[in-house]
Structure 1
């Protein structure tokens, strides 16, 4: 089957993409506007891109051309925090995706604790074991038929890691740090089931034939 996105409803394309590209990491983005009003929302079109220097990327949509609070806040202030989501935070993370009226505080709505950041004005989610304080370095908007997207690039200026999940040599205890991933629709996955593949191979053994 061949699918040309321009020949299909955007909902059809969305369903295919979000089922095909799985699991997707979740960026739980907190921000504030110039007046100091807090916002918190999850994004599964999110990832880390590079580490020297470290950057993250995520893509909020603008339904019918209207910017949601996260995008409006970041374009206004140039700052945000990415909070990482673990199993025990899944329900509260999901609650912050509710379409609340602009200006209503998702921290209060979901029963979460805002914690002051060190560099940026946006608060962190205290309950999240890893948080990235970020400064926007670039954004690019594109729109076709209805729900245009804006890609936000943020430089990670400060990383917070809970002491209890930190191991020597800057490694994370993944037995304690149990993140979740986004699947299609309302489905999520756990990251408990892991397997190891060694990178210790010598291509010269193959090339000599």
Structure 2
């Protein structure tokens, strides 16, 4: 038996990505998102046009996609309602976002600078993908979103995640942080209360039954 439902959220389960970019003054910026998918060496990222990350990517033409493991859930959640843009939209004000120029410090994460791109890596993330921006275009109708296509130029992977003697990640050892209907999951288990779910008034399983 199926029921017709007017779904308010369509996040069925995607990996969380911490996008590292560089602000106009050269300081590092980091932002969480989960609208990402990969094909070959390229990735599509969906972001709001008003975000500081989208503005940084348009200007710098690069970013780092940092993939957190599930044990970084608390740090990721501390970023959920922060914005690197001092100009907040009415929508973000209503959701409770606040301006934070030092998002790395607020999350308790460490930026790494390096070669190839100026955008920061997140030291604590076991997978870090340096990328160049290939294209950006409006996504959907009246969504206020941009679809960014990026190409992975270089991958940094924690040694203990690499299958010995290969260039492949061990899928059993890799436990990505997953966002499913605005809640955090790892290995199929809900990990941490989500500020984003609260802001969007998403009912939790405990209160919806």
Pick the TM interval, shorter chain: 0.7 to 0.9
The structure having more radius of gyration, on CA atoms, is 1
Q: 2:30 aligns with which of 29, 34, 40?
A: 40
- Greater displacement, 126-135 / 136-145: 136-145
Q: By how many angstroms is 1:192 displaced? A: 6.4
Residue 161 of structure 1: aligned partner:
157
Structure 1 position 114, deviation (Å)? 0.5
2: CA distance between counterparts of 1:106 and 1:16? Answer: 26
Question: Does the aligned pair in 2 maintain the 1:117–1:133 contact within 8 Å?
Answer: no
Report if the CA contact (8 A) 2:64-2:131 is conserved: yes
For 2:111 and 2:129, locate their aligned partners in 1 and report how far apart those are by CA, in whole Å.
14
Give SS of 1:72's match. helix
Q: What residue is the counterpart of 1:198 in the other structure?
A: none
Provide the aligned length of Structure 1 versus Structure 2: 172
User: 1:173 Cα shift?
Assistant: 2.8
Q: CA deviation at 1:2?
A: 6.5
Partner residue in 2 for 1:204: none
Residue 175 (structure 2) pairs with residue 178 (structure 1): yes
Runs of 4 or more, structure 1, over 3 Å off, are 142-145
Contact 2:45/2:149 (<8 A) preserved: yes
> Are 2:29 and 2:84, in contact at CA under 8 Å, matched by a contact in 1?
no
| 1:58 match | 45
Which structure has the highest helix share of the two?
1
CA RMSD of aligned residues (A): 2.2
Task: Compute the TM-score of the two structures, normalised by the length of structure 1.
Answer: 0.74
- Alpha-carbon separation, structure 1, partners of 2:188 and 2:83: 32
TM-score by length of 2: 0.74
Deviation of 1:106 after TM superposition, in Å, equals 0.9
Q: The residue matched to 2:15 in structure 1 has which SS?
A: coil
Unaligned 5+ residue runs, structure 1?
Answer: 4-11, 194-209
When structure 1 is superposed on structure 2, of 68-77 and 94-103 the one drifting more is: 94-103
User: Would the alpha carbon gap of residues 143 and 192 (structure 1) be closer, same or farther in structure 2, given more than 3 Å must change?
Assistant: closer
Q: How does 1:100-111 map to 2 (within 5 A)?
A: 100=83, 102=85, 104-111=101-108
